[in-house]
Amino acid sequence: MEQNYNTRRSFLKSLGVTLGVAGLGVSSGVLTSCSKVSSVSPEGKIRLLTPGGTLVEVDASQLTPAEMPSLTDNQKRGRLGMEGKSWVMVIDLSKCRNARQCMAACQNHHQLRPEQHHINVLQMQDAEHTAPYYMPKPCMHCDNPPCTKVCPVNATFKRADGIVLIDNERCIGCRFCIAACPYSARVFNWFEPRDAEKYEGVTYNIEANVPQKKGTISKCLFSADLLRDGKLPSCVSACPNSVYWFGDRNEDAVTNGTTKETVSFSKLIRDNGAYTLMEELGTKPRVYYLPPKNRTFPFEGELIEKGHQG
């Protein structure tokens, strides 16, 4: 019963967001890639495509534009984080088949150019004769983050729920954090970002780091804006192959983005021999990997390069 309480309200709310965004002449960005205004009929009825994929018709008067907090409120809220939460991600390498839906959803959500990756699916081969595998690589949201250590202006920071965020209203573009990050998780806006003129004047949302800004850093932020709405990060829900588990370590629960199954986090990582990437660097990542054994899909295609290194 309590599961149903939010359907109508959040449905309308999400429509509101869509409309609000549409009003700015923006196809989508706040929501997932597939939600968009289909058409506006003359009687004030609006046909909308919901994130779920169904076409609905709603009276225009019923809709209110989604509320966006002011820039300072948004920045303050974004810097505090969500109380009592401790977000973690588990990536099951045995399930990844390089479908790259995560990358596409992420680039849509965060308004990234095709060569900019908050999450990047890498072809890995640990040693010369070991089996190659695909490894999605988001930001590790380290608990000992080398990037926030070096930031001269506190533009990148770690908040109480574990997410490492970037404030592109403050970033001076020195790129020290890129040099410091051993996971190559950060990207820079070398030129005007994608669709810059389209998003001109849109209030900056620190939790999604949109709109992007020229001359500043961008990075994976576990879709902090979606988390605030109780939704899974866009990469997690976009995956067709049940690769991603995401949840709150304090609650000891992670939910699969594809099957929506919720399991105990500690049991999942214990039973499957989870590891973190380059733990020898002492960065204490929040992203756990389950090793690529008993794979659902064999590794296909040509190896881009020999060996583990680029």
Site for another protein in 85-144 (CB under 8 A): 85-86, 97-100, 103-104, 107-108, 114-117, 120-124, 137, 143-144
By beta-carbon proximity to another protein, the closer residue of 37 and 174 is 174
Q: Which residues of 175-185 are buried (b: 16+ CB within 10 A; e: fewer)?
A: ebbbebbebeb
74 and 211 Cβ atoms separated by less than 8 Å: no
Q: What is the DSSP string of 201-243?
A: TPPPBTTTTBS--TTSEEE--TTHHHHHTT---HHHHH-SSS-
DSSP summary character for residue 197: T
132 and 124 Cβ atoms separated by less than 8 Å: yes
Q: Give me the least distance between CB of 62 and another protein, in Å please.
A: 27
Residue from the set 30, 46, 90, 232 that interacts with another protein by CB under 8 A: 232
Q: Give me the least distance between CB of 66 and another protein, in Å please.
A: 21
Rounded Cα gap, residues 94 and 242, in angstroms: 10
Stretch that binds another protein, among 16-24, 37-45, 64-72, 255-263 (CB under 8 A): 255-263
Q: Give me the least distance between CB of 260 and another protein, in Å please.
A: 6
β partners of residue 46: 40, 58
By beta-carbon proximity to another protein, the closer residue of 43 and 115 is 115
- Binding residues for another protein, how many (CB under 8 A)? 99
Q: Give me the least distance between CB of 182 and another protein, in Å please.
A: 4
> 159, 138, 137: which is closest to 228 by C-alpha?
159
Q: Give me the least distance between CB of 69 and another protein, in Å please.
A: 21
By beta-carbon proximity to another protein, the closer residue of 19 and 121 is 121
Is omega for the bond preceding 211 within 30 degrees of 0, making it cis?
Answer: yes
Q: In the window 260-279, what residues touch another protein (CB under 8 A)? A: 260-264, 278
Torsion of CA 177, 180, 185, 188, to 10 degrees: 40
Residue from the set 36, 77, 170, 228 that interacts with another protein by CB under 8 A: 170
For residue 305, give Cα distances in angstroms to 85, 94, 126, 128, 298. 40, 21, 12, 11, 18
What are the phi and psi torsion angles at 71 (to 5°)?
-60, -45
Q: Give me the least distance between CB of 42 and another protein, in Å please.
A: 31
What are the phi and psi torsion angles at 269 (to 5°)?
-80, -25
Q: Is 31 in the site for another protein (CB under 8 A)?
A: no
Q: Give me the least distance between CB of 113 and another protein, in Å please.
A: 10
Residue from the set 188, 195, 228, 274 that interacts with another protein by CB under 8 A: 188
By beta-carbon proximity to another protein, the closer residue of 1 and 42 is 1
Rounded Cα gap, residues 219 and 49, in angstroms: 29
What are the phi and psi torsion angles at 196 (to 5°)?
-60, -40
By beta-carbon proximity to another protein, the closer residue of 48 and 145 is 145
Q: Give me the least distance between CB of 249 and another protein, in Å please.
A: 8
Stretch that binds another protein, among 15-23, 38-46, 197-205, 253-261 (CB under 8 A): 253-261
In the shown chain, the binding pattern of residues 48 to 67 toward another protein, with x for contact by CB under 8 A and - for none, equals -----x--------------
Residue from the set 30, 48, 93, 171 that interacts with another protein by CB under 8 A: 171
